[in-house]
């Protein structure tokens, strides 16, 4: 039987997930690439997000980080967007899927998020098919599937 998380927390809408706030965290250098996606919902509004996953130092939780570029400064900004525990018994791919799912679901719930123009720019732990399954799983329907 495949293990899953006992606790799964999204930080979307909190100070922790605000990449410009004082609680923002960068992913460790050892974090594994999950997927890079982009959305465009108008000619002047777009988003490119790179997701990375890693365990905490004590190997008790999995953490998902989102990195993007600040449009004003051009600097790379990051934050931790979700955490799941326990670490043990949940492989990285399963953890990545579950953490990204809870993150995107929170965005849908909090901000009535509609990812018109969704694209998969680069696969990582999650393949194109995995990411499209996740998007369908939460009721989002991507417009295109572009891999770099």
Residue 1 included in any domain: no
pLDDT at 147: 43
Compute the half-sphere exposure of residue 125: CA atoms within 13 Å on the CB side of its CA: 20
Token pair 């004082």 is at which residue? 22
Number of domains, the chain? 1
Residue 129 included in any domain: yes
Token pair 């974090």 is at which residue? 31
Q: Which residues contact 123 (CB under 8 A, 6 or more apart)?
A: 35, 131, 147
Q: Which among 97, 47, 60, 103 has a CA at the least distance from the CA of 80?
A: 103
Q: Averaged over 104-109, what is the pLDDT? A: 88
Residue 148 included in any domain: no
Q: What rounded mean pLDDT belongs to the chain?
A: 87
Residue 130 included in any domain: yes
pLDDT at 115: 54
Residue 23 included in any domain: yes
Q: How confident is the model at residue 1 (pLDDT cuts 50, 70, 90)?
A: low
Question: SS3 for 118?
Answer: coil
- Return d(Cα 143, Cα 31) in angstroms, integer: 28
Q: Which residues contact 130 (CB under 8 A, 6 or more apart)?
A: 93, 97
Share of the chain above pLDDT 90, in %: 59
Question: SS3 for 85?
Answer: strand
Instruction: Choose between 98 and 119: higher pLDDT.
Output: 98
Joined tokens for residue 54: 């890693």
Give the range among 53-62, 96-105, 107-116 with minimum mean pLDDT: 107-116
Q: Averaged over 65-79, what is the pLDDT? A: 90
Quick: pLDDT tens for 20-58.
888 999 999 999 999 999 887 677 777 899 999 999 999
Beta strands per DSSP E along 24-118: 32-42, 45-55, 62-69, 76-85
Q: Are 145 and 128 in contact (CB under 8 A)?
A: yes
pLDDT at 145: 47
User: Parallel, antiparallel, or unpaired: how do β-strands 62-69 and 7-10 relate?
Assistant: unpaired
Residue 33 included in any domain: yes
Task: Note down the domain range covering 121.
Answer: 7-137
Residue 146 included in any domain: no
pTM confidence score: 0.89
Question: SS3 for 71?
Answer: coil
Residue 29 included in any domain: yes
């Amino acid at each position: 039987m495949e293990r899953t998380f006992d606790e799964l927390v999204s930080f979307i809408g909190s100070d922790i997930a605000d990449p410009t706030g004082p609680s923002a965290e960068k992913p460790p250098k050892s974090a594994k690439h999950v997927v890079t996606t982009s959305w465009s919902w108008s000619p002047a509004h777009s988003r490119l997000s790179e997701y990375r996953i890693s365990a905490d130092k004590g190997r008790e939780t999995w953490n998902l980080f989102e990195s993007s570029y600040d449009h004003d400064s051009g600097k790379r900004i990051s934050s931790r967007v979700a955490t799941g525990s326990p670490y043990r018994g949940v492989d990285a791919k399963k953890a990545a899927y579950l953490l990204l799912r809870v993150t995107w679901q929170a965005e849908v719930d909090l901000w009535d998020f509609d990812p018109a123009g969704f694209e998969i720019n680069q696969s990582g732990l999650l393949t194109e098919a995995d990411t499209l399954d996740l998007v369908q799983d939460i009721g989002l329907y991507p417009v295109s599937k572009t891999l770099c």
